[in-house]
Amino acid sequence: MLLEFEHIIQVNDLSNKAIAVLTRNQLWQGLVLRARNPDKFNHALQCKHEELEENEFIRTVQAGGTSFCERVTLFPNKKSVLKPSLISIKSTLKASRP
C-alpha cells in the first residue's frame, strides 16, 4: 500500500502585517532543510541521509522502534518528491508483562 500526502499551506498573508513576508528562495531553503533534517522539526525522530547526486539522497528516519528509508529528489524552487525505498523498513514491537 502506498500513501500519498500533499500539504497546502498559505504563505505570505499580505493582509497580516505582523507576519514577515518570505521570498521564494527563503521558502525553498526551509523546505530543503525540512527534507534533509526532519528531526529538527520533530524531536521524536532521528534522521540521517546519504547523498546520491546533487539533488537526490536517501534518508533514513527512525521513530521509536520503527525505521524507514526514503529516496528524496529535489526539484530546485519547485518541489520535493519522497518515495519509499526498498532498502530498509523495520519495526520493533515489545510486549511487556503487567
Give the pLDDT confidence of 31-68 residue by residue, as tens digits: 999 999 999 999 999 999 999 999 999 999 998 888 88
Q: How many domains does the chain have?
A: 1
Grid coordinates given for 23: 521570498
Within 8 A by CB and 6+ apart from 24, the residues are: 77
Confidence of residue 91 (pLDDT cuts 50, 70, 90): very low
Q: Is residue 83 part of a domain?
A: yes
Q: Is residue 97 part of a domain?
A: no
pLDDT of residue 6: 72
pLDDT of residue 36: 93
User: H-helix or E-strand containing 61?
Assistant: strand 56-63
Q: Is residue 74 part of a domain?
A: yes
Confidence of residue 1 (pLDDT cuts 50, 70, 90): low
How far lies 13's CA from each of 2, 9, 19, 55, in Å?
34, 11, 7, 30
